[in-house]
Chain A
Amino acid sequence: MRAEPAKMQAAINITPLVDVVLVLLIIFMVMAPEMRKGPDVNVPNTAKPVHQGDERTQIVVSIDESGGLWIDDKPFTVDHLSEGLRAAVGNEKDPKVVIRGDARLNFNQVRLAMVAIEDAGFQGVGLVAKRARAQGE
Chain B
Amino acid sequence: MQVSQGGSNLQSEINITPLVDVVLVLLIIFMVVVPILMDGYDVDIPRASGDAVAAQAAEAQVVLSIVPGACNILAPPPGEGLPADCRVTLADEKIPATELPTRVAEILGGRASENRVLFLDVDDRVNYEGVLRIVDLAKSGVENLKIEFVPAH
Which residues of A are interface residues toward B (Cβ below 8 A)?
Answer: 6-7, 14-15, 17-18, 21-22, 24-25, 28-29, 32-33, 35-36, 44-56, 58, 98, 100-111, 114-115, 118-119, 123-132, 135
Contact = CB atoms under 8 A, between A and B. Distances in A.
Say whether chain A's binding surface is mostly helix, strand, loop, or mixed.
mixed
A45 B30 contact: no
A50 B41 contact: yes
Interface of B: 5, 8-9, 16-17, 19-20, 23-24, 26-27, 30-31, 34-45, 47, 51, 75-76, 80-81, 122-129, 131-133, 135-137, 139-140, 149, 151-152
Contacts of A114: 43, 45, 149
Closest 8 CB pairs of A and B: A108-B124, A49-B39, A44-B129, A103-B129, A32-B34, A128-B40, A124-B44, A55-B36
Contacts of B122: 107, 111
A106 B132 CA distance: 12
B132 A129 contact: yes
B80 A98 contact: no
Nearest to A49: B39
A106 B39 contact: no
A32 B124 CA distance: 34
Contacts of A135: 80
Contacts of A44: 76, 128-129, 132-133
